[in-house]
Structures are given as structure tokens and as C-alpha cells.
Amino acid sequence: MSAILLDGKTEAARIRAELKDEIAKQGLKPGLGVILVGHDPASVLYVNLKEKAAREIGISVSRFDLPDTASESEVVVHIRRLNADAAVNGILVQLPLPEHLNPNVVIAEIDPAKDVDGFHPKNSTGLLSPGINGPLELLKKTGVELAGKHAVVVGNSAVFTQSFCDALRAQHVRAEPTYPDNFELIAQADILVVAVGRAGYLKPAMIKPGAIVIDIGTSKVDGKTVGDVSPEASAVAAFMTPVPGGVGPMTVAMLLKNTVELYKQQNIETKPPQASPTEA
């Protein structure tokens, strides 16, 4: 058996094309605000990719690049500026932040109605985080009936693993979060979502034969981007997401989709139903 690869690059291109067509035909003017603090190479790369993809489909971008030494109050000033800008519909603060900044405090300053990443504790948009929705869309592309399946979400962040499990449960999946060393539970999963950030962490012996494997982790090995899942896992899994070309492009596509949706929420009012004619 050789796993079927879930092509996020092609699916993301389709989503971007649909959004570009919608923006042009409907005359939409969505705007994205981006704040990057510091010069972490991965973060700079991700922000550049997001900005490029946004501009290509007709989303305007207001970007602030701040130094590593930026204070919490300086970051907050820029967030509040974007909050007040009617041309900005979604706000993204690129994570991780430098260690001296508290991400919870920073994210809480974003207007919940402009929370494009879905991280605000009082998020009012009804939208999933792109980092969760992108992988979910690839999971659905398998064509496998997800309801009733047993999923295990493996990661170092309890917030992320729990949030992903919540999204899976909404699809009627029995989902459990866990840490990377819980090998017994991991081996029982019909669906494995792995976000560890450790190259080749998930070995074939750790995978239930026929499982669906969603690889969210990325690492650099000899200058190449690789995932958390060992390539040899394809001999055991039924479906796998490649790295690169799997979850990454889908996360960007869903960020753009959320931005367009936020524009609609903030600018396109639902017309009230017309009253029935009064009988004479």
C-alpha cells in the first residue's frame, strides 16, 4: 500500500482563483492588516507569502514590520490603528512573538470582529482559524466518512490541539488531544493530526494501518523543508499530506477566504424581509 497524497497546493490554487473571481465580479474591497514583530526567518517568509497571495487576488494589505525590541505598548498602538481603519477587515499578528511579548495580551487587543486568525478569546466572526480549517478541508477531500472515526491530535500546544479537537468533534469525529510521547494512544487513531515541529517524528510503526495522516509540522533539514511525518509512513497510511505542498498552501488560502468573509460581514448588510402587502 502507498498512501494517497492530499494535494494542498492544487486545492489552494482553486480556492484563490474562486476568491479572485468573486472579488472582481462583485466589486469587493477586502483589506488585511498584518503586524510582524522581529525578523524570525520563518515568520518573515510566511508573512511575505500571505501578503503576496492576498495582493494577487485583490486584497489590499496594510503591513507593519516592527523590530525585535518593540514593546507591548508599541505593538498595541499599531493594532488599535488597524482596529480603527475601516478599510482593514481582518487583522493578523504573526506568531510566535519575541519572548518578551505576551501573545495573549497582544491578541486580546484585536477587535474581535476583525480577528482573521480566530485566536481572540471573544472571537465573534464564527470563522475557524485558517491553521485548523485548511487541514480540515484536506481531510474532507479524502472522501472518507469522518463521523464516528477516532482522531488523535498530537502537538506541544494544548491550546492548538484542543481547538483542533473541537473542530473535529463538530464533524462528529471522536477526537482526543495528546502530547508526542503518548505512543499507545497515537497508534489507535484512524485520523492522526501531527503538529510537533520535529522532523520525521512520526514513524510507520506508530501509525494504525490505513490511517489518514495530516502533517502540520515543519522543520528545516539540510536547507530543505520537511514535515513531522517520516516519508516511510506512506507504506502504512491510506492518505497523507505532503510537506511542502500540503497544509501550508491551504492555511494561506483559508486566511484569504476569512478576510473576504470578514469584509462581507462588515460591509454587506442583510436586507430585512419585505412585509406582506396589507389587505385593503
Instruction: Kindly name the residue from 117, 190, 215, 228 that is annotated as catalytic.
Output: 117
The radius of gyration of the chain's CA atoms, rounded to the nearest angstrom, is 20
Give 3-state DSSP helix, strand, coil % of the chain, rounded to 5: 40, 20, 40
Q: Are 119 and 129 contacting, i.e. CB atoms less than 8 angstroms apart?
A: yes
Calculate the dihedral angle through the C-alpha atoms of 83, 88, 94, 100, rounding to the nearest 10 degrees: -20
Selection from 27, 83, 52 nearest residue 264 by Cα? 27
The verdict on whether 50 is a catalytic residue reads yes
From CA 96, how far away is CA 94, in angstroms rounded? 6
> What would you measure as the largest C-alpha separation in the chain, in angstroms?
82
Q: Are 175 and 163 contacting, i.e. CB atoms less than 8 angstroms apart?
A: no
Instruction: Kindly name the residue from 50, 114, 149, 257 that is annotated as catalytic.
Output: 50
Selection from 136, 114, 137 nearest residue 124 by Cα? 114
Residue corresponding to grid cell 528545516: 220
The verdict on whether 117 is a catalytic residue reads yes
Q: What one-character DSSP code corresponds to residue 231? A: G
From CA 280, how far away is CA 271, in angstroms rounded? 26
Q: Which amino acid is at 98?
A: P
From CA 159, how far away is CA 127, in angstroms rounded? 17
The verdict on whether 162 is a catalytic residue reads no
Q: Which residues are catalytic?
A: 50, 94, 117
